Amino acid sequence: MDRIESLRIFARIVQCGSFTKAAATLQMPRSSVSMAIQELEARIGARLLARTTRRVAPTQEGIAFYERCERLLGDYEEVEGLFRQSSSLPAGRLSVNVPGRMGRLIFAPALPDFFRRYPEIELELGVTDRAIDLVHEGVDCAVRVGPLGDSSLVARKVGDITLCNCASPSYLHKHGTPETIDDLERHVAVGYASPTSGRIEEWEWLEDGMVRRRPIPTRITVNNAEAYIACCLAGLGLIQIPLYDVRSHLAAGELVEVLPHLRAAPMPVHILYPHRRHLSRRLQVFVDWASALLREHAA
């Protein structure tokens, strides 16, 4: 095994915290991954990884080696592509993670266009509403909607998603249509619990440029966007949802927007990726393409 490949394997193990996960993301046998590390440690003359029954973590020497390793791999990839950038298309495997309905409604329909442009890129599309650890799960980039927590990741903002307030015709026939915020005292909402924190979101609206919130009674609480919309369609309460999520339901009359003058504040959309001095060309082109796609839908 060549030395550059052994460095890539070492870096992926540190990122995943596991020989097995690293082998899976690299599509290599676990035995080959273990052998590469044994050979690397023997060549370096230092123990780079501390192994336990649950996790693999870099030693102090491994941490210092990993920092140099990341820089070296970035430089190598840049140098390797110097003379083929103008004559060849970016190629290789990319692991991307996006929110559930965004993956189905926005990304999946647009992917034929991406593959027409970049036929040599192979995409692994993860779809989940929970927060993930890009480094440990071997993901190259992720799309996230909403405020971001503190992170060492690079965050590229691509726009703001419009939200709307919705209810089903059957719900409105039974409970009436709210015209003011005070009318919500006589209504119920479908509760939405954050998949990450479990916190149940309060009803939110913008008034005179200020974000205001109030709790609304709920009969059911969900932690998934698909279930959230399904409960609204079933007449179980009001919801606040990104407009792109329910555009087809609104057009078909299956849902009705209420309180259009009191929408919640738009939610920021970011593309996240690990902080690296050099991004691979395949990641660069995907981030550019995805940014344009999301800006179009945000608009």
For strand 203-207 and strand 210-214, is the pairing parallel, antiparallel, or unpaired? Answer: antiparallel
Q: Which domain-ending residue is among 45, 80, 115?
A: 80
pLDDT value of residue 24: 87
Assess whether 276 and 155 both reside in one domain.
yes
Q: Following CA atoms 5, 6, 11, 15 in sequence, which dihedral angle do they give, to the nearest 10 degrees?
A: 100
Name 135's Cβ contacts closer than 8 Å, sequence gap at least 6.
Answer: 15, 16, 274
- Asked if the structure places residue 12 within a domain, the reply is yes
**Domain with 69 in it:** 3-80
Kindly provide the b/e burial profile for residues 55-94, where b requires at least 16 CB atoms within 10 angstroms of the residue's own CB.
ebebeeebeebbeebbeebeeebeeeeeeeeeeeebeeeb
- Asked if the structure places residue 19 within a domain, the reply is yes
Vertex 182 angle, CA 179 and 184, to 5°: 75
The number of folded domains in the chain is 3
- Asked if the structure places residue 48 within a domain, the reply is yes
Assess whether 170 and 261 both reside in one domain.
yes
pLDDT value of residue 244: 87
Tens of pLDDT, residue by residue over 212-241, are 999 999 999 998 888 999 999 999 999 999
- Asked if the structure places residue 144 within a domain, the reply is yes
Q: What is the CATH number of the domain that holds 55?
A: 1.10.10.10
Assess whether 147 and 203 both reside in one domain.
no
Tens of pLDDT, residue by residue over 157-184, are 888 989 999 999 999 999 999 999 999 9
Name 162's Cβ contacts closer than 8 Å, sequence gap at least 6.
Answer: 242, 243, 263, 266, 298
Residues in the chain, pLDDT under 70: 1, 53, 74-75, 77-87, 135-136, 150-152, 275-279, 299
Assess whether 169 and 259 both reside in one domain.
yes
For strand 56-58 and strand 49-51, is the pairing parallel, antiparallel, or unpaired? Answer: antiparallel
Assess whether 142 and 220 both reside in one domain.
no
Assess whether 167 and 239 both reside in one domain.
yes
| Of the candidates 121, 136, 149, the residue with the CA atom closest to the CA atom of residue 285 | 121
pLDDT value of residue 184: 92
Q: Which domain-ending residue is among 80, 102, 135?
A: 80
- Asked if the structure places residue 85 within a domain, the reply is no
Q: Which class for 256: exposed (0-12), middle (13-18), buried (19 or more C-beta within 10 A)?
A: middle
pLDDT value of residue 78: 62
Q: Which class for 259: exposed (0-12), middle (13-18), buried (19 or more C-beta within 10 A)?
A: buried
